[in-house]
Amino acid sequence: MKEKKQAEGVVEVARNGHAHLISKNNDFKDLFINKKNLGQALDGDVVNVDIIQDTSGKGNGVQAKVNGIVTRKTIDFSGVIDINEEKRHAFVRTSGGKMPVDFYVPMENLGGAKNGEVVVVRLHRWHKKDKNPTGIIVKVIGKAETHEAEMGSIMFKHG
Asked whether the beta carbons of 138 and 111 are under 8 A apart, the reply is yes
Q: Which amino acid makes up residue 28? A: F
Would you state the pLDDT for residue 109? 95
Asked whether the beta carbons of 65 and 49 are under 8 A apart, the reply is yes
In tens digits, what is the pLDDT along the chain, a chain of 159 residues? Answer: 456 788 899 999 998 889 999 987 767 778 899 999 999 999 999 999 999 875 555 556 688 999 999 999 999 998 999 999 888 899 999 876 788 889 999 999 999 999 999 999 999 999 989 999 999 999 998 877 666 666 666 666 656
Would you state the pLDDT for residue 153? 60
79 to each of 2, 4, 50, 128, how far by Cα in Å? 45, 39, 32, 23
68 to each of 42, 45, 51, 64, 78, how far by Cα in Å? 12, 10, 13, 12, 24
The separation between the first and the last C-alpha atoms of the chain, rounded to the nearest angstrom, is 48
Would you state the pLDDT for residue 1? 45
Distance CA 93, CA 96 (A): 9
